[in-house]
A and B are shown apart, each in its own frame.
Chain A
Amino acid sequence: MDLTVHIGSLTLKNPLIAASGCFGYGVEYAGIVDLASLGGVAVKGLFLAEREGHPPPRIVETPAGMLNAIGLQGIGVHRFVDEKLPELRARRATVIVNICGTTIDEYVELARILSDAEGVAALELNISCPNIKEGGITFGCSLTGTFDVVSAVRKVTRLPVIPKLTPNVTDVASFARAAEDAGADAVSLVNTFLAMVIDVETRRPKLSNIVGGLSGPAIRPIAVRMVYECRQMVKIPILGMGGIAEARDAIEFMIAGAAAVQVGTASFVDPFIWPKLIDGISQYMQRHHIERVSDLIGTIDTRTRDKQWISS
């Protein structure tokens, strides 16, 4: 059975990636998860400089989901390279570094630094965080902004470039297309859905940032639809995510068109989820006589149904 998948020049040993923002810098989980057993580890979004992020409360739970407005608290790229990357390298993790900038120059500088660092497998461009006002989302909500930031990063790195797209636009697929046209090796989607929760007793927002990003099983059907739409529009691989909580969810994303998937919120609930997901995918492949998991990608069957069959 072959679980490997290809993202541009990068080969992942399986299609399961820990989603950025949900797995710290990876090292926090080293005692729980064999980091080398994951297809990839997308580390928490990094700016050039350290950031404190938003005041608490930073998360609030909703039915089958949660909102977060962490505000990209982070140690900055230099401390990451010095303090975290050596351990990730020693544990042989496939490290996808999520980078954030307030300007195109910041993305470019981050890409340069990380291209020179040993042990980085790919760059995920965060142009979709809904929780900070400056940068990031500004690029992700404009087709020319997306094109420009991806092109600029493309010019300075040989690493696979994977812009992470926001669902908070009218047509995600056109953004995937802009990314592809700019030379992206893949796209990842979706980031969280902009949302809010109000305490009706106090009439106060439940998050200090007032609004936050919704993740978890609640968003999964929308995310699957967006991956499916992007698959129609681009040829580059798609890293699908949004509410994956069990193997069947991961398989659903792959059938919709994802070459690999990312898991975030579900690993908060069950940090030991990874081998369970791999087992579930393997069992599905056995049941369906699928030798290579990559044969699943985009295999949704949308042919018109036989009317006899529907009525029976």
Chain B
Amino acid sequence: MPIDVVADVMANRRLSSDYNVLALAAPAIAAAASPGQFVMIRPGRSHDPLLRRPFSVFEVLRDQHGAPTGISLLNKRVGVSTGLIYTAQAGERVDCLGPLGRPFSLVDPPAQAWMVAGGVGLAPFAALAEALCGRGTTAVLFYGARTAAELFYLDVFRALGVELVLTTEDGSLGEHGRIVAPLERRLSSQRTDRPVMVYACGPEGMLAATARTAARHGRACQISVERIMGCGLGGCYSCVVPMRSDDGRFHYVRSCIEGPVLAGDQIQWD
């Protein structure tokens, strides 16, 4: 059952001229959230922008005793709402509804967890990495961005014990190119008797390529999709994703309640 809170902005950490991490005081949502779930955010009370925006729970924030105090959101400024979230000041208040949606299912050792992130698609993976590492699961983050300055939170993932595989489109850090290339090589060299779960979030093309690559190597793949949402609760049918049907056709499912985490081999990619 989702909780609606008027959350104080605890901190706003600007990562670049486009990206920031917004920390919100929302202990009840933090305590209830599982990795992969999202919240619906309304950064102002005016009618423009009117609708809330969905954001993955990036981190669950805790006090020194480990008690949940809030959540953080990884935001990229692209429009009006994300612009307001980028410029939000500590002490401002935002409406925050959550946690919503179906979370990732976690894997335990000896299975390994390979996370594939593109750009702002890093958003669900800090919380997922923390949960996986807490179970002792070996985690690898395949993380691609346009340029080195847009690869964020690397120290946080390293500190959790996550192995990093990085790519940039300009070659300024890590391998030159797209992230699916090193994923493909690693999947090819992984012994088939060693179980791997692939998790992915990012641009649609990267998700399709990741899902196909994982399927080709017989690996399960959980995709966190991003869609324009009206309500986040299953009311409006805006955020649908085409899923394969048994008869070879497809049917639309609401990514807010049946996702945002969906099986990569079930999504109709073309």
Residues of A within 8 A of B (CB): 21-24, 28-29, 31-32, 44, 52-53, 55-61, 63-66, 68, 70, 73, 216-218, 245, 265, 267-272
Contacts and interface: CB of A to CB of B under 8 A. Distances in A.
B51 A61 contact: yes
Given A32-B1, A269-B42, A68 B230 contact: yes
Contacts of A59: 228, 230, 236, 238
Nearest 9 interchain pairs by C-beta? A28-B234, A64-B47, A268-B231, A59-B238, A31-B1, A63-B48, A24-B235, A268-B230, A58-B238
Contacts of B236: 21-22, 24, 59, 68, 70, 268
B252 A52 contact: yes
Contacts of A44: 237
B49 interface: yes
Q: Which residue among B52, B237, B251 has the maximum number of chain A CB atoms within 10 Å of its CB? A: B237
Contacts of B235: 22-24, 28-29, 267-268, 271
Interface of B: 1-2, 4, 42, 47-52, 95, 97, 227-228, 230-231, 233-242, 250-252, 257
A47 to B, nearest CB: 14
Contacts of B251: 52
Instruction: Tell which of A57, A73, A265, A269 has the most Cβ of chain B within 10 Å.
Output: A269
Contact of B240 (A28, A32, A73): A73
A61 B50 contact: yes
Given A52-B251, A56-B228, A56-B239, A32 B50 contact: no
20 contacts: A21-B236, A24-B234, A32-B1, A32-B233, A53-B240, A57-B238, A59-B238, A61-B50, A61-B51, A63-B48, A64-B48, A65-B47, A66-B50, A68-B238, A70-B236, A265-B50, A268-B52, A268-B235, A270-B95, A271-B97
Contacts of A217: 47, 50
A57 B252 CA distance: 12
Contact of A269 (B52, B250, B257): B52
Contacts of B233: 24, 28-29, 32, 271
Contacts of A245: 47
Nearest to A265: B50
A31 B52 CA distance: 19
Given A56-B228, A61-B50, A64-B47, 10 more contacts: A22-B231, A24-B237, A32-B1, A53-B237, A59-B230, A65-B50, A217-B50, A268-B230, A268-B236, A269-B50
Contact of B252 (A32, A64, A65, A73): A73
A70 B82 CA distance: 25
Nearest to A56: B240
A268 B53 CA distance: 11
B2 A32 contact: yes
A57 B236 CA distance: 12
A28 B228 contact: no
Contact of A58 (B47, B95, B237): B237
Contacts of B240: 53, 56, 58, 73
A44 B230 CA distance: 15
A243 to B, nearest CB: 9
Contacts of B234: 24, 28
A123 to B, nearest CB: 21
A284 B50 CA distance: 25
Q: Which of A29, A61, A217, A267 has the most CB of B within 10 A?
A: A61
Contacts of A265: 50
B2 to A, nearest CB: 7
A31 B235 CA distance: 13
A63 B80 CA distance: 11
B252 A271 contact: no
Nearest to B256: A28
Residue in A63, A68, A271 whose Cβ sees the most chain B Cβ within 10 Å: A271
Contacts of A57: 228, 238
A218 B50 CA distance: 10
A87 to B, nearest CB: 14
Nearest to A27: B234
Nearest to A65: B50
